[in-house]
Amino acid sequence: MSARPLALVTGASRGVGAAIARALAPSYDLLLGGRDAGALAGVAAGPAGAADEGTGAAGAMEARPWPVELTAVTEADVAGIDRLDVLVHSAGVATLGTIAQTPAEVWRRTLEVNVVAAVELTRLLLPALRVARGHVVLINSGAGQRANPRWGSYAASKFALRAFADALRQEEPELRVTSVYPGRVATDMQRGVRAQEGAAYEPERYLSPDSVARVVLAAVTASPDAHVTEITVRPSAGPVA
């Protein structure tokens, strides 16, 4: 790693997290968080700047995998991270079902992965974030603004993530905290969601991961006098049933 600013991105092995890592790579050293060490290594070996329109590959990343079970992260996992400029929470799970169909273990797992893991990792990294007067970005969802049928446990987790972001922003005024609310994004996770809905996976109608990454890049590179607190971004193709 160099003396450049440092960013840690969770869920970085694929999809939105990997796209965010590529977008940040031209300017940041990276820790790529996730469970699949092999997939993280593949992202780390890939080109930087792939999310920048018209630039193509801009050289190799300065990145290393940070394989960890986010629901069991400890102080030992963050040892050695003394300064952190950007922390992006992109990891998440989604299990659909009506209230009547969704047992407690689904609610617990969804809240544990989507909320508690992000809260605990942030808590452990607060000293490093304070040193850098850093930036925390939480990839939320349209479900964090409106709860629809069969999305109860997922929406509840995203509403909770929004509450966490709002509280953190007020408790740590020297940090910047941004909640990003994308619509449907063309990822493997979305493919699984559409299968649960019994509907076709139509990536051309969704946001690309790179489009979400550009939004995140805009927030973290905003001028020092600007604190981008919330961003909502929807596919230009319009609502998807």
Residue 197 backbone phi and psi in degrees, to 5: -80, -10
- Which of 154, 181, 201, 206 is catalytic? The answer is 154
Does residue 154 have an active-site annotation? Answer: yes
Torsional sign, CA 77, 169, 141, 32: negative
- Provide the annotated active-site residues: 154
